Amino acid sequence: MSIILSEIEVKVRKLINAQHQLIEENRRLASENRALREENEAFARTSQELQDKINKTTIVNALGNSEEEIKEGRRLIKELVKEIDQCVSILNSKE
């Protein structure tokens, strides 16, 4: 009987140890997940900023050069106006 109890005790200790390891790993992974989310958000902001710079450069270039650049600038301006209209529409619908 005492041998069976000893075996059960050993198994329970192993399970408790495994649980502690899993809890620690879960904490580590949650922390890593948060860091990666923050990094992803930073990349998204940088990407948006770079896209905005490209848009501004395209508009500036479109104001003076070839017919192709003028068309591209007009297209970009139309897209930006459409995006602004969508934002205004969303804001108005929330009121």
**Closest among 46, 75, 43, 45 to 58, alpha carbons compared:** 75
Angle at 65 between CA 61 and CA 69, to 5 degrees: 65
User: Looking at the 3D structure of the chain, how many domains does it have?
Assistant: 1
Structure token digits, residue 83: 């995006």
pLDDT digits over 30-89, tens only?
A: 999 999 999 999 999 999 999 888 888 877 766 666 777 777 777 888 888 898 888 888
| pTM, entire model | 0.52
Whole-angstrom CA distances from 38 to 9, 32, 33 are 44, 10, 9
